[in-house]
Structure 1
Amino acid sequence: MSPKATPSPAMLRRVVAAAVLGNAFEWYDFAIYGLFAAMIAKLYFPAGGPMTSLMLALATFGVGFAVRPAGGILIGMYGDRVGRKRALSLTITLMATGTGMIGLIPSYERIGIAAPALIVLARMIQGISAGGEFSGATTMLIEFAPAHRRGLLGSFQMCAQALSFLCGAATVWLLTDLLTAAQLESWGWRLPFLFGILIGPLGWLIRSRVDESPEFVACVAAKTGAKAGTGGHGEAKEAGSGLRDLFTKHARALFASTGVCVVGTVSAYMFVIFLPLFAKQLGVPAAQANRGTFIAMAIVFAVCPLAGHLSDRFGRKAVYLPATIGYGLVAWWLFHRFAAAPSAGTLLALQAGVACFMGLLWGPMPVILAEVFPAAVRSTAAALAYNVAVLVFGGLAPFVNVWLVKLSGSNLAPIYYVELSVAIGLASGLLLPGILKPDWRTSPA
């Protein structure tokens, strides 16, 4: 395979902007649905009581995750076949379509059963898009990054997620603070979704101005050369390996990276989506719960690049494993304090304390996902690992934990779910192959 071309600094900046801003726009839409789940429950899923309606709305939130593995595999294979750039343009167009639909669909009171059915359809479109977004954007970013900065630049993907949740929380906080309850229910909640329609043309424009990944181009060239009998047989074989070889040749990496994603995705959907809803049920005012989420995401946004840089300097596991242990201990202690005395103060302490370790945990995750797989299957493999983890443990986490609290009658039920994810994340981190230390120091100059 020919050496990987070195992108210009201007192109690298453009790629970072395309990956980070596009990913942030995508997750902004997921965030505002989760944060407006109680409002959507009332308007689209009327049922026997507010808790039942909320569970239906959160189940619909989970529908978007049910289709994500399929969307991730299809878009990941598309990206491994035709290029990262075209796959990313597709995902952002789909997300804008689904988001715009949610902002425009009339309520159950106006069109009956068609309203929740259309909400489910919109969530499925969003889910297919999101299934390919994270892996595609991460793959593009890592493949453009200089070897000694992969951790730092990869962490920008998690900054994008933090930024999206931060913007979503800020939007909901401002709307709940500035509008009356009647205004918010009538039209105010639709504004963030209608704004999301801009994602399509703006995101497509940003992503159309970047080059194709040099590592992908080199991989295709090796495959073409091998077919023509000009050499490069080993890399070409990888380039044509496909989904079957992913399970036979990279099973350990796939299993371990999925487990790493479990702890990260549970932290997001438990402490960003579920916790504000849970706090409101315990009597914490909505504006204060959303303000705490905003502050927590600002902390994550600031800490992620530091964690990525540290992983470049000391190794991926050297950052990931201690961060996971610290996250589990701090979450256990502060959640018990909050459950014993629910208030804006104990909630903010929980959100801020957990956020510090979430940032350290999230930072090295993208580069871990990218480094354990070869370029020919990287987009597909990362999409599968990430989306299976999100489907099984993340997207349904708010619904499952509302159900667990209702079933057990204990406000402590959610923390056991968090600690289960920590145990999975630690075991999987120990299984990660070949990335105890970053390899750039021993790579040719």
Structure 2
Amino acid sequence: MLMPAAPRVESRQRRALVAVLLCNVLEWYDFAVYGLLAVYLSRAFFPQDHSQVALLATLAVFGVSFVMRPLGGLLLGGMGDGRGRKPALLAAALLMAASTFAIGLIPSFERIGLAAPLLLVAARMLQGFSAGGEFGVANAFLLETAPEGRRGFSTSFLSMTVALGSGLASVSTALLVGLLPAAAMEHWGWRVPFLVGGLLGALALWLRRGIDETPAYERAAPAPAAPEAVLQRVRRPMLTVFALTMHWTVCFYIFLIYLPLFTQKHAGLSAGEANWANALSTLAILIVVPLVGHLSDRVGRRPFLIASCGLVLVLALPALWSITWLGSVLPDAFVPIAAIQFLLGCGIALYSGAAPAVMVELFATRDRSRWSAIAYALAAAVFGGFAPFIAVWLTTTLDWPLAPAGYVMLASAISLITAWRMPETAHRPLG
């Protein structure tokens, strides 16, 4: 009579995993789609007197949404630490689904004037608020439900959602650009990915309703709430997470969001080719991340963090130079440029497989959701969200297409020093 219990438990665990990860897929899908469709969004929501100014304004809105991430980490992450992981995960899914769907429905600048970009900013800020809380809560949930000795492998799936979401965005954008006439794409085609994303968010919300609270959270005693005690507990791990996030977030937004724009402008790839090359780079992340997560449970997190930072420091400038050179000497440079992006994707994957576990292992259970989310969100807001805008600004100001490589290398150097000096967390018991 008791035999069916184990299969039912396993089924609930699988549903919980899918429910947590699907909303993260949507988060990165939406952020990637926005960057990949930036040209169409600039034409829809901003006046076209100066197309470059409109594009910069669109990328600035992309960055402005990150201002809300720390607030989302504070409030949704606080809900995750104070009321439980499940309520916070439900709130994040609801906000992400609603705001993503809204972007697909906002009328254009031609129809409603200044209200169009203002509504776009509002939707993006709501997305940023949701994403800011989602990372810490979802990461804590995966860590606390992982089997013994598999925390790195379990949390690495959070990084796989980055690749899945970005890859899905690249594939869907490439298909739309390839299948729809240019006029249809500009008029209504760009809206389709956002409407689909909203529906995926609704599915994630429904799935999350059936998950259970984590045992580690239910066992943990409330942490002392006096400001001095909180600051003493979380100051050092927060600074570590902030510095570690710099490399991760800058590499992601430069190599997976900005680079398709770069390859179109400086290497002559079509929009479809740029998006397919981007999809191949996310494939590298999908392949390598779980392997790194698994190995990090055995040999530790630090070796992979250090290797990723070192690889990017060596490759960033030669990679961008090679892309521009190949575009100037080859009539069809798609294959070698895609290979370069695949290699850069491997560099990101070395970090992405180990970093999620580190960022929550540094904190005690009742601090884990809020403070890891805030530290991550602050670094993502300051260094990642504005990365595409900074890349365009640096290129324009210095009149040098390779200028963004310097920004990447600076972030990688800071994270490398931090990873070199931080303690190993792989074999620590959860506090």
CA contact (8 A) 1:242 1:377 kept: no
Q: Bigger CA drift: 46-55 or 307-316?
A: 46-55
Q: Bigger CA drift: 17-26 or 163-172?
A: 17-26
Corresponding residue for residue 330 of structure 2: none
Shift of 1:391: 0.5
CA contact (8 A) 1:240 1:376 kept: no
Shift of 1:345: 3.7
For residue 163 of structure 1, give the secondary structure of its aligned residue in structure 2: helix
2:51 and 2:353 map into 1 onto residues whose CA distance is 37
1:242 and 1:267 map into 2 onto residues whose CA distance is 37
CA contact (8 A) 2:45 2:117 kept: yes
Asked if 1:433 corresponds to 2:404, the answer is no
The correspondence for 1:272, drawn from 251, 256, 264, is 256
The correspondence for 1:322, drawn from 303, 307, 318, is 307
The correspondence for 1:389, drawn from 364, 379, 388, is 379
Distance 1:279 1:273, change over 3 A: same
The one-letter code sitting in structure 2 at the alignment partner of 1:370 is V
The one-letter code sitting in structure 2 at the alignment partner of 1:275 is L
1:67-105 Cα shifts (integer Å, max 9, x gaps): 111111111111100001110110111011111111001
CA contact (8 A) 2:391 2:403 kept: yes
The one-letter code sitting in structure 2 at the alignment partner of 1:392 is V
CA contact (8 A) 2:73 2:371 kept: no
For residue 104 of structure 1, give the secondary structure of its aligned residue in structure 2: coil
Corresponding residue for residue 226 of structure 1: none
2:59 and 2:121 map into 1 onto residues whose CA distance is 11
Q: How does 1:62-77 map to 2 (within 5 A)?
A: 62-77=63-78
Distance 1:96 1:389, change over 3 A: same
CA contact (8 A) 2:103 2:120 kept: yes
CA contact (8 A) 1:100 1:193 kept: yes
CA contact (8 A) 1:316 1:438 kept: no
Asked if 1:298 corresponds to 2:283, the answer is yes
Shift of 1:47: 4.3
CA contact (8 A) 2:95 2:127 kept: yes
Corresponding residue for residue 310 of structure 1: 295
Shift of 1:247: 3.0
1:146 and 1:407 map into 2 onto residues whose CA distance is 51
1:334-385 Cα shifts (integer Å, max 9, x gaps): 2221133334344313211101121111111110011100001100111011
Shift of 1:205: 1.4
The correspondence for 1:361, drawn from 329, 345, 351, is 351
1:374-424 Cα shifts (integer Å, max 9, x gaps): 001100111011101110110000001101000000011011111011101
Corresponding residue for residue 405 of structure 1: 395
Corresponding residue for residue 31 of structure 2: 30
2:413 and 2:234 map into 1 onto residues whose CA distance is 23
1:328 and 1:395 map into 2 onto residues whose CA distance is 21
Asked if 1:15 corresponds to 2:5, the answer is no
Shift of 1:323: 2.3
For residue 212 of structure 2, give the secondary structure of its aligned residue in structure 1: coil
Q: Which runs of 5+ in 1 are unaligned?
A: 1-5, 224-238
The one-letter code sitting in structure 2 at the alignment partner of 1:209 is G
2:227 and 2:175 map into 1 onto residues whose CA distance is 45
The correspondence for 1:286, drawn from 256, 271, 274, is 271
**Identity across aligned pairs (percent)?**
39
The one-letter code sitting in structure 1 at the alignment partner of 2:129 is I
Q: How does 1:230-249 map to 2 (within 5 A)?
A: 239-241=223-225, 245-249=229-233
Distance 1:41 1:128, change over 3 A: same
2:229 and 2:262 map into 1 onto residues whose CA distance is 43
CA contact (8 A) 1:152 1:309 kept: yes
1:50 and 1:246 map into 2 onto residues whose CA distance is 48
2:262 and 2:229 map into 1 onto residues whose CA distance is 43
For residue 150 of structure 2, give the secondary structure of its aligned residue in structure 1: helix
For residue 412 of structure 1, give the secondary structure of its aligned residue in structure 2: coil
The one-letter code sitting in structure 1 at the alignment partner of 2:211 is V
Corresponding residue for residue 151 of structure 1: 152
Corresponding residue for residue 234 of structure 1: none
Q: How does 1:26-425 map to 2 (within 5 A)?
A: 26-219=27-220, 222-223=221-222, 239-241=223-225, 245-282=229-266, 283-342=268-327, 343-425=333-415
The one-letter code sitting in structure 2 at the alignment partner of 1:374 is A
For residue 365 of structure 2, give the secondary structure of its aligned residue in structure 1: coil
The one-letter code sitting in structure 1 at the alignment partner of 2:345 is A
For residue 366 of structure 2, give the secondary structure of its aligned residue in structure 1: coil
CA RMSD in angstroms comes to 1.8
Q: Which runs of 5+ in 2 are unaligned?
A: 1-5, 328-332
2:29 and 2:87 map into 1 onto residues whose CA distance is 22
1:163 and 1:34 map into 2 onto residues whose CA distance is 16
Shift of 1:333: 2.4
2:85 and 2:236 map into 1 onto residues whose CA distance is 25
1:270-309 Cα shifts (integer Å, max 9, x gaps): 0111111122222321110000011111110111000101
Q: Bigger CA drift: 338-347 or 117-126?
A: 338-347
2:224 and 2:321 map into 1 onto residues whose CA distance is 51
Q: Bigger CA drift: 48-57 or 140-149?
A: 48-57
Distance 1:243 1:30, change over 3 A: farther
Distance 1:432 1:241, change over 3 A: farther
TM-score normalized with structure 1 length: 0.90
CA contact (8 A) 1:311 1:438 kept: no
Count of matched residue positions in the alignment of Structure 1 and Structure 2: 418
1:102 and 1:162 map into 2 onto residues whose CA distance is 22
1:182 and 1:294 map into 2 onto residues whose CA distance is 24
1:138-185 Cα shifts (integer Å, max 9, x gaps): 110101112300000110000011100000000000000111110101
The one-letter code sitting in structure 1 at the alignment partner of 2:359 is L
The one-letter code sitting in structure 2 at the alignment partner of 1:372 is L
Distance 1:317 1:420, change over 3 A: same
The one-letter code sitting in structure 1 at the alignment partner of 2:224 is G
1:11 and 1:46 map into 2 onto residues whose CA distance is 50
